[in-house]
Amino acid sequence: MFLRNCLLAAAVAVAAPIAAAADVVTKPEAEAMVKKALAYLKANGRDKLFAEIDKKDSQFTDRDLYLVAYGLDGVVRAHGANTKMVGKNLMELKDVDGKAFVKERVEMAKKKVPFWQDYKFNNPVSGKIEPKTMYCVPEDDMIVCGGVYLK
């Protein structure tokens, strides 16, 4: 009985970190989600992409991974975690460290190459401000991004 309980405790101790790791979104998953959105854009157009990103239970939301689309003017076109942001110009928005991350994101996007950007933002799952890295792909006059919270 003692041995069985020890083995059971050991199995739970090993399984818990594995389950927790499965809940963490990875950089490749964020990149794949953004690429999926770009394919959706090409097949369906901007309006349908924006509506799909904004939708509850969107195909572009997975755990704490969601997509955001910005215009190069800093205006949010779609936001998978907070649709109240749609239509707002966030160019001057700063994170808790004072980083104007949307302005930086727009400047980086003007180079017309995909990039990763680090900043701090509210995690919609934990409700806490956490370090985040955002994968962004410039597409015409907009930027499509999906991020990973760094635990």
Contact 148, 27 (CB under 8 A): yes
**Lowest mean pLDDT: which of 15-19, 93-97, 119-123?**
15-19
Quick one: average pLDDT of 100-107?
97
Answer yes or no: is pLDDT of 73 > 60. yes
| Strand spans (E) along the chain | 61-62, 65-71, 76-79, 115-122, 129-139, 142-149
Answer yes or no: is pLDDT of 55 > 60. yes
Q: What is the DSSP letter of 125?
A: T
Q: What are the domain boundaries of the chain?
A: 25-149
Q: What is the pTM of this model?
A: 0.83
CATH of region 25-149, choose from 3.90.800.10, 3.30.300.30, 3.30.565.10, 3.30.450.20: 3.30.450.20
Say what the pLDDT of residue 22 is: 58
Residue spans of alpha helices (H) in the chain: 2-22, 27-44, 46-54, 101-109
pLDDT more than 90, % of the chain:
81
Tell me the β-bridge partners of 122.
Answer: 129
Question: Cα–Cα distance between 119 and 101 in angstroms, integer?
Answer: 7
Answer yes or no: is pLDDT of 151 > 90. no
Tens digit of each residue's pLDDT (9 = 90 or more) over 110-146 = 999 999 999 999 998 899 999 999 999 999 999 999 9
Answer yes or no: is pLDDT of 109 > 70. yes
pLDDT band at residue 4 under the 50/70/90 scheme: very low
Sign of CA dihedral 58, 71, 149, 128: negative
Quick one: average pLDDT of 29-53?
98
Q: What is the DSSP letter of 85?
A: G
Q: Which residue has the higher pLDDT, 38 or 125?
A: 38
